[in-house]
Amino acid sequence: MTPFPESDLPIAITMLLLFGAILTIAAGLVRRSFAWPVVLLTLLVVLGDAIAMLLAIVRGGPLRHTLGGWAAPIGIEYVVDALGAFVVVVIAAVSVAVTVYARAAVRAENPDQEVAFLGMMLTLLLGLTGMVLTGDLFNLYVFYEISSLAGYALLAIGDRKAPVAAFRYLILGTTGASFYLLGIGFLYVLTGSLNMADVARLLPTLHNNPALPVAIALVVAGVGLKTALFPLHGWQPDAYTYASSTTTAIIAPIMTKVSAFVLLRLLFFVFGVDLVTRLLPTGSILAWLSAAGIVVTSGMAIAQRDVKRMLAYSSVAQVGYVGLGIGLANPWALTGAVLHILNHATMKCCLFLVAGSVALHARRRTVAEYAGLGRMMPWTFASFTLAAVAMVGLPPTNGFFSKWYLLLGTIRSGSWPLVAVVGASSLLTAVYFFRLLESIYTAPATAKPEAPAGDPEAAMLVPTIALGVAVLVLGLCNSWFVTQVLQPALPAAVRLPGS
């Protein structure tokens, strides 16, 4: 049992990350090699905390913590339910994996900026976990901006073109955040409160107010931009391509997914299903834009020759699945969307770790250059194959199951074009992944004298393999997660029958 009250667990995460970031930079100033152990230690403690938090919630219901003792709704509070706790566990677990990887990767790619990089990484995680944990709309904005600023800094550390991509993202991202801020400004004017639960309670009494649709639209646009929902995704491909491999490995799986989760929170817990589907056809717009996004970006992924850029477009397509599920707003679709948040995080992290390893270790970046690597880096590419097969959605990997639930959701909604989109997208994904796999395993290796053969070192290899295995395990065990964690956390209106 914990020596302190369980309701302190959420705030402990924030505090750990905040002080961890400061300590990392301080330690790094003393001696560069001191920074990394501090980061790893911080994240391990955070992971433990997150798991303890999840277990506490599964046992005893949602946790609430009021900051500074000021009672809600005036004061700011953290509200964590099973779903939020699970997302935090995912964030923590993926970050630990990436941190292990980062040790070698950052030293190889950007050794001079190692300390700043690691500090910014913790700041990013501070922002992202805060977004998930908080129960206050403005507090969400603050954490949103914290994670964004850290993100801009991280994305700027990379190759020569990285600052340009980061700048573009900065302009777009800040615009998005500002839209969100304006949106909650409207909500404040309408309800007088910024506490999520309070606003949720008050909104139904304001059904006919013309300011409400505007508020919803602004908020969705704001969060949607960070989620890289089509067509607000333009910043993502460049940003991911030029950033360093570690940055992409941590941002791609986590940042857009946390934003997607926040979108889900806002739409279903603050605005409510009823409001969202009746007042503005938010759900339909979201679903159709996502569907279009899936098709268009999958097509663009097929056209790419640089592997990281291909994976970046693929990420946008995958977030489209989440958007589609949220937009359809029926129990099966939501289950698929949330499950996909978890699943895509594992798959994409594994893929970007491999892309990074290959770029660093074997000096190859394009699909053509990947030829024949299957023999040279067997373990790395075994994991890659598992993750790729999962992205295509073949059983028994986790990617298959999120597609299964999404398909059930689209069938329930009665929209046959959407059913076709979900089905066809698997095939589009198969085109660019199998093409790559074929090249990796059968083509003769192009000789690169300066690149050593064999798998990269353990620090980079172990997280890759762990994620590859996770892809299978999560697939087979998905039902446990769906029934034990997901269902209890969704509002009753969108739960599966029999939960």
CB of 156 to another protein, least distance (A): 6
96/461 with CB nearer another protein: 461
CB atoms within 10 A of CB 98: 27
The smaller minimum CB distance to another protein, of residues 24 and 478, is found at: 478
Which string of DSSP letters, residue by residue, matches 384-404? Answer: HHHHHHHHHT-TTSHHHHHHH
Segment interacting with another protein (CB under 8 A) among 37-45, 253-261, 356-364, 422-430? 422-430
The counts of H helices and E strands in the chain are 21, 2
- Concatenated DSSP letters for 271-295? I-HHHHHHTSTHHHHHHHHHHHHHH
Site string for another protein, 17-46 (x = CB under 8 A): ------------------------------
Single out the residue of 187, 165, 337, 144 nearest to residue 237, CA to CA: 165
Which C-beta is closer to another protein: that of 3 or that of 68? Answer: 68
Candidate list 7, 113, 277, 366; residue touching another protein; CB under 8 A: 366
Nearer to another protein, 34 or 138 (CB): 138
Choose, by CB under 8 A, the member of 86, 152, 261, 352 that binds another protein.
Answer: 152
Q: Which of 166, 229, 294, 310 binds another protein (CB under 8 A)?
A: 166
Backbone φ and ψ for 80, nearest 5 degrees, come out as: -125, 120
Task: Give, as ranges, the residues between 173 and 212 that touch another protein (CB under 8 A).
Answer: 174-175, 177-178, 181-182, 185, 188-189, 194
Question: Which residues, 6+ apart, have CB-to-CB distance to 128 below 8 Å?
Answer: 91, 143, 147, 254, 255, 258
Q: Is 299 in the site for another protein (CB under 8 A)?
A: no
Region 217-246 residues binding another protein, contact defined as CB under 8 A:
none
**Cα-based distances in Å from 14 to 57, 71, 77, 133:** 18, 19, 13, 9
The C-alpha R_g of the chain, in whole angstroms, comes to: 22
**Binding footprint of another protein, residue count (CB under 8 A):** 65
Least separation in angstroms between CB 113 and another protein? 12
x/- letters, 392..411, toward another protein (CB under 8 A): x-xxx---xx-xxx-xx--x
- Give 477's contacts (C-beta < 8 A, 6+ positions apart): none
Identity of the amino acid at 355? A
Which of 130, 98, 147, 84 has the alpha carbon at shortest distance from 338?
84
Query: Minimum distance between the CB of residue 400 and another protein, rounded to whole angstroms?
Result: 8
Q: 411-439 burial string, b = 16+ CB within 10 Å, else e?
A: bebebeebbebbeebbebbbebbeebbeb
Helix H or strand E segment including 63:
strand 63-66
With binding defined as CB under 8 A, does residue 213 bind another protein? Answer: no
Assigned token pair, 479: 């039902």
457 is an interface residue for another protein by CB under 8 A: no
Convert residues 55-74 into a mask of x (bound to another protein by CB under 8 A) and - (unbound).
-------------------x
State the binding string over 305-324 for another protein (x if CB under 8 A, else -): xx------------------
> With binding defined as CB under 8 A, does residue 167 bind another protein?
yes
**40 in Cβ contact with 99 (< 8 Å):** yes
113 sits near another protein (criterion: CB under 8 A): no
Task: Give me the helices (H) in 63-81, please.
Answer: none
156 binds another protein (CB under 8 A): yes
By CB under 8 A, is residue 170 in contact with another protein?
Answer: yes
Separation between Cα atoms, residue 325 and residue 319, nearest integer Å:
10
Question: How far apart are CB 138 and another protein at their closest, in Å?
Answer: 5
Query: Given the rule CB under 8 A, which residues bind another protein?
Result: 74, 138, 141-142, 145, 149, 152-153, 156, 160-161, 163-164, 166-167, 170-171, 174-175, 177-178, 181-182, 185, 188-189, 194, 305-306, 366, 389, 392, 394-396, 400-401, 403-405, 407-408, 411-412, 419, 423-424, 426-427, 430, 434, 438, 441-442, 476-480, 482-483, 487, 496, 498-499
